[in-house]
Amino acid sequence: MTRAYEALETRFRRLNSLREAAGMLNWDMSAMMPAGGADARSEQLAVLQVTCHDLLSDPAVGDLLEEAEGEGQALDPWRRANLREMRRDWLHTTALPTDLVEALSRARNRCEMIWRQARPESDFAAVLPTMQALLDLVRESAAAKSALLGCAPYDALLDEFEPGGSAARIDVVFDQLAKFLPDFLGRVLEKQAAAQQPLAPEGPFPIAAQEALARRLMAAVGFDFTHGRLDTSLHPFCGGVPDDVRITTRYDEGDFAKALMGVLHETGHALYERGLPSEWRAQPVGAARGMAAHESQSLLIEMQACRGAEFVAYLAPLAREAFAGDGPAWAADNLQRMYNQVRPGFIRVDADEVTYPAHVILRYRLEKQIIAGDLALADLPGAWNAGMKELLGIVPPDDGDGCLQDIHWFDGAWGYFPTYTLGAIAAAQLFAAAKSAVPEILAAIGRGDFAPLIGWLRQNVHAWGSFHSTDELLEQATGSPLDPKAFEVHLIGRFLE
């Protein structure tokens, strides 16, 4: 290591610890904190955000980066990649003045807390003023970053979640899916209508029993409870830090599948975090590549692996035992039909594989229009409902099942949504490559043994952290960069063949 590079590693190690502390406080705010703690927590997080910003925007860091980059040939490939990621982090940070960082942090926390009250009451008007104030700051941030990064404001926001991503490329991918999906959805619905309809297992399904089954399946997939935990929250998510991964879900006593599949989805996120290269854990190159890669891991576990016939055959007797179920509704073939039933619905996180991309495309289109100023925030509910009608043929009964359902915009995460479908495409590519490389994967999943699959993912995805770009990572693991055709092939194989 050179002197400059070593000084940078030391600074980024401190920065990582501060960010991890903020991450744990954010998890607590969503899962444990009483409502009365909101103001104090907002202050704590704002101070941490400003401290992190000041640590990285110190002019000395820019000088160290230039010196280290000038001596880059003296560094090994991992350190050169780390230096590249340091530079990217530094650019995003120095684009914003300290007062904007502090204002954004406070606005995010304030808006999220109001959203937590507004969503159950389906009261968009209650959160609109605070959301508008947050959006104004997000736009200001996007403008500042776009000027420095040399890209459009929306692309600057997207780059925070998907490094190097662009709306131009996403438009091509999503336009291809938008052409494929409507006709495909019609064919699937027609086939399902002519087939035997799934029987719904009779509830209620006690929350304690759902949680016990979820924990059992998490352990089977590979979750380490000495390095993580499962809790409840208004919106399911995976947070914490790689050595202490926090998963949350929400339960419905009338439908155990929602929480179960949500937990398996978040477990995929957790396994990725746990599998990141430990020797680079405190450095930017040791972090997850981006949210498309992250979502590929959660969707690979939930959709690709855990909705397949092999896993459902393993699950069926466990579900019967957990809920004292009996009769044909609990048979593996019936549960398989139930888990893969395609039905347009209002809620993204409960959507099937075929309709899920429509939910993402809607949000992507809306947030691009809002950031560009082409759609007023006050008009969001109407535009949302019109988009749902166009894409899925249904209209939400209220805003709670409409534009209030996701936390992202109310937490300031504009530019995040497209990574869900990018992740679904990557998941299809990766699962196909894993099955080809390790033929026993499916049989092992049928026994509740995920070790062959997780072992392949550890070697080909998790262990690389941010060493590669998303396309490079996929090309190395699967032989090609992101390709929507792989997702289409998967859907045809699962739903029509």
Which residues belong to the active site? 266
Q: Which residues of 48-69 are buried (b: 16+ CB within 10 A; e: fewer)?
A: bbebbbeebbeeebeebbeebb
Task: Note whether 141 and 159 are within 8 A (CB).
Answer: no
* Nearest C-alpha neighbor of 305 from the set 195, 220, 184: 220
If 0-12 CB within 10 Å is exposed, 13-18 middle and 19+ buried, where does residue 91 land?
Answer: middle
**Quick one: angle between helices 59-70 and 38-57, nearest 10?**
50
Q: Are 444 and 453 in contact (CB under 8 A)?
A: yes
* 222 conformational bin, left if phi > 0, alpha if psi -120 to 50, beta if neither: left
Dihedrals phi, psi of 248, to nearest 5 degrees: -130, 155
- Chain centroid to Cα 126, Å, comes to 27
Cα-based distances in Å from 247 to 20, 34, 191, 207, 236: 15, 19, 36, 16, 8
Furthest-apart CA pair in the chain: how many Å?
A: 70
DSSP 8-state symbol, 331: S
